[in-house]
Structure 1
Amino acid sequence: MKEYMKRLGIKNEVKMAVIVQRQVNPKLSGVIFTRSPSEPDRALVEFVEGSPEKLVGGRESGKRILLPRDPTKVKDPLMRELIETGLEVEELFRKPQDIEWAYDGTLWLLQSRDVTVFASKPEKTEVPGGWYRLRGIPASPRRVKGKAHFVLDDQPPEEAERVFPRGGVLVTYVLHAEYYGLFMKASGIVTKVESVLSHPAIIARELGIPCVTGVDVEAIREGDEIIVDGDEGAVYIKNPRKRFRKLDLWEASWREDELTKELGEEYLKALGELDSKKLERTILRAFELVRKLYPLNKEKAFNVYHFINTLMEEETPRILAERFSVAEVFARADRGERPRDETEKRLFEIYDVLKRFINYTDERVRNIPALLFGLGKTV
């Protein structure tokens, strides 16, 4: 809020209204753009199961559907009601709307704001030789070329803003509203989390700068010259490292071998037992193997690296979701709430372990991105 006030030139202390509303416990929730920022002739719906907090906070990527703006052409009853209601709100405000909604049997509109920017129909631009295309999702239109600078969410906002060069391209997993001053210095934004409702995507549209989400950011190095194409939903990287091409890391793939098989068995056993200590030991063992193998056997090192990250980021949420409402549990952990029972306490502990290793905030693995990708050396 302070950053918004600063941007608007408001220096005096202001009073804010407090809205008291009933808590909704939705089956589905998300956002509808009555005109998609990248395809204005259609509406865009993005949604998740349960609370919208995990979508906005970047903890989960939503399902995305492009729909015709004519409700009679939409078959799904909920999607048809969303389009009908969205168009009514658009008519009320006389501008296309970005509407957050929740559904618990009844469709609730949580808030609405003007869609701040649209893509013009872009001309197909030829990309010169020596560039490699990374696919993503268009979250804010326009196109920009600049140097990539990484910021991770464990870096204090003030420090990140201080060292980030004005006009640089911000590359990140996902960042939140407290980094608003940093966003204002960027000429474009690239994120790993694939959500048009994440904070970087929303703020990029407010600022009128291009943003592409859902990008394999591990393929980009600190200081690389890149093109962010927010119209097409692509990032072009110049002169990628030879070892990327050799190992085909664009796909971030891994192959099963004796190492990954043994690590996988240990990891899944610990996860099944909800034993955070065993899980932590297995993850540490995997990263120690990465250090031991690199650079003498780069292929095996990257294989283990991608394997353990796939387990943490993709397989763990999927497996736990079969037994628990993990998105809600993790959201409660993020809010600093107390666990309700012993099982939830174990899930909180597992979440803490995963966050530390996925974000590389644990001192024991902090140098892994620098070792493999050259990340964090100048940020």
Structure 2
Amino acid sequence: MIYNLYTVADKKQVGNKAYNLMLLKRAAYNVPNGFVLSRDFCKIIKKSFSLNLKKQIKDYLKQIDYGGELYPLVVRSSSIYEDSVKQSFAGQFTSITNINNEKELFLAISKVIASEKKISLKSYTNKKLKDTLAVIIQKQIIPKLSGVYFTKNPITNKGFLIEHVKGHLEEMVSGKKNSLKINTTKQLNKTFKKLYLEGKQIEQYFKYPQDIEFAIDNKDRIWFLQTRNITTLKNIKKIIVNKAKNQKELKGITLSNGYAKGNIEYVSDATDPKEAYKIFKKGNILVTYVLFPEYDLIFKKAKAVICEVDSITSHPAIVARENNIPCIGGINISKLLKETNNFDEVIVDGKKGKVYYSPKLKILVNKEKSLFKMIKIIKTKEFENDKKELTKYILSLDYINIEIKLKNMVEFMQDNFKEYLKAKNKNNLNLASSYFRNLVPFLQEGFYKLLLKEYSKEDIISSFTRIDQGKKPVTPLEKSYKVIRKYIQEMDKNATIDGKHLWDFKL
């Protein structure tokens, strides 16, 4: 059977998400027009998506003003298990946006129904899921802003929290954009004040703190896309963190409260999920940029999570809270990985949003035979000239072939360094050491500072993250970082005892 959203149907047939939207629409809140394909209807589609079934859907489509890029549709799941008090099933089922015609719509419906078979769902629940899905078809809102409103802050268990971004919410949830946060009434403008008040009314209506997904269009109209009970409220215990004197700290944002001490283990988004689960040691602390639903098994083995995405509604944040483990977001993962070894011990302080760690010692050579003893670092004329040239290249990112120009510059600097090593006298070795010691900090820190003159911090971090995750560079910024990143990695790797192979590599 098919139900309009302005009716209220059997919850078991339409699922929790659709049922809550029906209640909101009946209570006169702004909910985009649409209809729901019941569980029984979807069960028939799985067997055969016949012309008769498609005709029934077309009849309901006539009630929605849609078509083309200006008026697209969105197709979402609605399960009897989804959005329950215990589990949200965030990101587990497929949702499809920007549907412009009937052909795309029927394909999207089939894909959403088929998402019930996803492997990641097995890690999320012990239940065998079969024929649990209904499908919501709605007019898609083109948002100026979108976000999530927690009527009770799930981190502090008091107050409220609104997270929002420009454009679509997926940009925030996936970690592509950092969200803006509102947690005091003083921060509310006219539109957000209206959202705040309506959210509190919805909380009273459902008699439970709500996790509300919303969109604000170009006319400043507020649209409610979803509401569900917050799944992760818990009592917060006071814990005293014993930080060692020699430990450094990285400040992030608390995404899930708690405390953990253990060994870190990095998992890349590029790793096969099954292989990553097999390798990951139970009880370790998961370090990652952003992990998606396919990796949920790992969260069940992890003691805590450290990630770069900083949104409280990101997938790592939600799953960490549901597994009752601490999660710190907004951490500079590249820096953490650079200053620690895999399986080093760290402390995760969920209350303060901090990670404490002991930085690794970069031992280039042994004390007896070192070419690079702690000598006075000389600001050589040669290095200063080379640095000026490299700076010029870095700041000229509009060049089409920036990566080629940087490679040429690196090779030139390699040659200069090798010239110092040819002569076996103390003065030249000191010059080589100074050159090396000046250049590494410049590339690791100066490169980033130079980029800040041309780019925003958000653009730089986003570009660096794409390359760190192994994605193909597209922009000049990404191309230049890939060269510098390789450069620094190879310098560290090739720092041998005699120093001769420091720069024996090709980019």
Q: Secondary structure at the match of 1:42?
A: coil
Q: Secondary structure at the match of 1:148?
A: strand
CA distance in 1, matches of 2:314, 2:413: 31
Deviations 1:315-372 (A, max 9, x none): 5567989xxxxx9xxxxxxxxxxxxxxxxxxxx97259839967x9x9x679669849
After superposing the two structures, state which structure 1 stretch, 117-126 or 93-102, moved more: 117-126
Q: Structure 2 counterpart of 1:281, which letter? A: I
Q: Structure 1 counterpart of 2:404, which letter? A: R
Higher RCO (CA-CA < 8 Å; seq separation 6+): 1
Q: Does 1:94 align with 2:210?
A: no
Q: Does 1:42 align with 2:159?
A: yes
Q: Secondary structure at the match of 1:200?
A: helix
Q: Secondary structure at the match of 1:182?
A: helix
CA distance in 1, matches of 2:261, 2:224: 38
Q: Are residues 302 and 142 of structure 1, via their aligned partners in 2, closer, same or farther at CA, if it must alter by over 3 Å?
A: same
CA distance in 1, matches of 2:409, 2:139: 46
1:56 maps to what in 2?
Answer: 173
Q: Are residues 232 and 318 of structure 1, via their aligned partners in 2, closer, same or farther at CA, if it must alter by over 3 Å?
A: closer
Q: How is 1:283-298 mapped onto 2 (pairs within 5 angstroms)?
A: 297-298=436-437
Deviations 1:98-140 (A, max 9, x none): 2222111211122233321345263544434343222110110
| Equivalent of residue 303 in structure 1, options 442, 447, 468 | 442
| Equivalent of residue 241 in structure 1, options 360, 366, 379 | 360
Contiguous gaps of at least 5 residues in structure 2:
1-91, 93-118, 364-383, 418-431, 463-471, 495-507
1:78 maps to what in 2?
Answer: 191
Q: Structure 2 counterpart of 1:10, which letter? A: K
2:310 maps to what in 1?
Answer: 194
CA apart distance, 1:308: 4.5
Q: Secondary structure at the match of 2:143?
A: coil
Q: Are residues 352 and 150 of structure 1, via their aligned partners in 2, closer, same or farther at CA, if it must alter by over 3 Å?
A: farther
CA distance in 2, matches of 1:314, 1:33: 36
CA apart distance, 1:300: 2.1
Q: Structure 2 counterpart of 1:96, which letter? A: P
After superposition, the CA RMSD in angstroms is 4.0
Q: Does 1:350 align with 2:474?
A: yes
Q: Does 1:33 align with 2:150?
A: yes
CA distance in 1, matches of 2:288, 2:453: 18
1:281 maps to what in 2?
Answer: 404
1:114 maps to what in 2?
Answer: 229
CA apart distance, 1:269: 3.6
CA apart distance, 1:147: 0.3
Q: Are residues 65 and 118 of structure 1, via their aligned partners in 2, closer, same or farther at CA, if it must alter by over 3 Å?
A: farther
Does the CA contact (< 8 Å) of 1:312 and 1:354 recur in 2?
no
Contiguous gaps of at least 5 residues in structure 1:
245-256, 322-326, 328-347, 373-379
Does the CA contact (< 8 Å) of 2:251 and 2:353 recur in 1?
yes
CA apart distance, 1:8: 2.3
CA distance in 2, matches of 1:15, 1:355: 46
Q: Structure 1 counterpart of 2:359, which letter? A: P
Q: How is 1:1-379 mapped onto 2 (pairs within 5 angstroms)?
A: 1=92, 2-11=119-128, 13-68=130-185, 75-104=188-217, 105-115=220-230, 116-118=232-234, 120=236, 122-217=238-333, 218-219=335-336, 220-237=340-357, 239-242=358-361, 262-271=389-398, 275=400, 278-281=401-404, 297-308=436-447, 316=455, 350=474, 354=478, 371=493
Paired residues in the alignment total 325
Does the CA contact (< 8 Å) of 1:161 and 1:182 recur in 2?
yes
Q: Structure 2 counterpart of 1:127, which letter? A: K
Q: Secondary structure at the match of 2:146?
A: strand
Does the CA contact (< 8 Å) of 1:291 and 1:301 recur in 2?
no
Q: Structure 1 counterpart of 2:205, which letter? A: L
Q: Structure 2 counterpart of 1:53, which letter? A: E
Q: What percent of counterpart residues are identical?
A: 30
After superposing the two structures, state which structure 1 stretch, 310-319 or 20-29, moved more: 310-319
CA distance in 2, matches of 1:127, 1:113: 38
CA distance in 1, matches of 2:234, 2:387: 45
CA apart distance, 1:313: 9.6
Q: Structure 2 counterpart of 1:350, which letter? A: V
Does the CA contact (< 8 Å) of 2:290 and 2:307 recur in 1?
yes
2:20 maps to what in 1?
Answer: none
Q: Structure 1 counterpart of 2:189, which letter? A: D
Q: Secondary structure at the match of 1:17?
A: strand
